[in-house]
Structure formats: C-alpha cells, structure tokens
Amino acid sequence: MAKNILEAKIGFGTWQALDPKLIVDQLRWAIENNYDFIDTAWVYENEKIIGDALSTLRNQNYKIPPIQTKIWTPFFKQDVIQQLKSQLKDLQLECVDSVLLHRPHVDNTYNVKAWKELIQAKKLGLVKHIGVSNFDKDMIEILYTETGVYPEINQIELSANYTRRDRIKYNLEKKIVIQAWTPLGLIKENLKNSFLIEMAKKYNCTVPQLLIAYASSFKTAPIIKSSSEERVKENIAKINLVLDEEDVYLIDRKLNRHESSLDQKTDTYPEFSLDK
C-alpha cells in the first residue's frame, strides 16, 4: 500500500456501489489486497454508506487506506467548503486524503471560484491533497493563472479504447499525478478481442490485467471497481506488470477510438443539476 495517495499505483472505485452490506465486503477485499486508496464522489450517492462501512472496518482493526472524494459541478456555484464538510460528515472523517473538482463547469469563473475554495479547505486542514477530474490543459492553466496553484491530481478517462497522449504529456510535465478512470475501457468487447487475448497470453495474464498494465504504462494510477472478491484480487495481482513499449503502441493503434465515453464533442461541458 502506498504511503500517500500521490504515490498510489492503483485505486479501488465505488461508482454504483450502493448495497450497504456488500460495500463492507468490497472495501475489506480492497484493503486485504493492498489497494492504495478508495475513490468515491458525492454524485455516486454512497458516501454515507461508505462512511458506515469504514467505521465497521475500523472497529474490526482494519487499517483504512487514503480516501478520495469529489465535489460535483453544481456545487461550484455554492459554498464548496460547507459542501465538503457535509461530505466529510457522511464519510465520518475530519480530514480526507484527497478532494477533486469532479468535472469542469461550462463557466470557468465557477471553476476558479471552486478551486480557490479547495485551496482554502486544504489550509483549514479539511483535506490533504487537492485536484481535479476531467480537466484539460487550458482549464488547468486558468486555475493556475488565477491562483498560482496547480492541481496535485487529475483523474481522467484513460483506457486502450480512449488514450489522449496530449493530456497525459501535459499532466506529467506539470508533475500532476494522473489517475485513470475506466481503465478497462469497453470491457465486454475487449474480453472478446482476439488481439488482446493473444497479447495477454504473451504476458501470462488476463485481458483485464493487460488493460490495467496498459493504463499504468502512462505513469497513471488506474481506478478499478468490482463486486466480486475474485476480480478484486485479479485486478491487482499483476499491478507491477510492465509492457514493452512496442506492445503499448500496438494496443493504442488497434483499439484507440479517440472518442470519450462522456460523449464530449466540444471544449465545454453542459450545465449540471443537483438532482440525483
């Protein structure tokens, strides 16, 4: 397990994890298999049950890894610090390891406002590390120009089916830690892909392990979720697998569709609602 979230190799995702009983098991499996951090968000609608699950595991003497959550876009217009305090209450934490701005607002004024408040939240001791998610270069540069502070983390979509090398290059140059969401990509298709199946044989691994290694090859921390103990173990078992550069290139060339699953066709994002 990493010393802190900035050194993480792999995170455990909790999107769609809504069963209070199952989530205790899911988090236990993640801890027992040495996942480096647990990732959640307000919009996942599960912070309270995660807080309860973490309390249960603490009482069972489990060492809790770093926790990361996110501020949903509509809250950028409101009091971000108060919103964070509300989320901390649900998570049963006084200080969280990492908080990200979940997705950029269409109006950069609100992105800057929210970023300034996250900086203040860090000074107040509510969070150890602050960052963004799904932000591009121009958006991040605006945050820096207005505050003099770069995000410590940028969680972006990255998989064999969607790899933005320009985005990766920029974040690495700015020493922004990259986390990869949906690193398995179009998993149902990928599991049947003959090219991936043959390459997985070469590395004596499964297709999911190959896809995780692909994401890791760009110096990212993939975030993986599963409701199966077997898959939780499988997904981290080959976390130190290193692919040949030629194979990374081949995977990118054959599978990269250059199209985000967010269906983002422009440089701006739509307005978001607080309705869940």
> What is the distance of C-alpha 266 from the center of its chain?
22
Vertex 181: Cα angle to 205 and 142 (nearest 5): 140
Catalytic residue at 44? yes
Host H or E run for residue 129: strand 127-133
Query: What distance in Å separates the CA atoms of residue 4 and residue 144, rounded to the nearest whole number?
Result: 24
If we measure between CA atoms, which residue out of 274, 250, 233 comes closest to residue 31?
A: 233
Per the CB < 8 A criterion, the answer to whether 237 and 243 are in contact is no
How deeply is 191 buried, as exposed, middle or buried, from its count of CB atoms within 10 A (0-12, 13-18, 19+)? middle
- Selecting among 35, 44, 162, 214, the annotated active-site residue is 44
Contact at 8 Å (CB) between 143 and 151? yes
Query: Is 102 marked as a binding-site residue?
Result: yes
C-alpha span between 225 and 80 (Å, rounded) = 27
What residue numbers does the annotated binding site for substrate cover?
102
What residue numbers does the annotated binding site cover?
102
Active site residues: 44
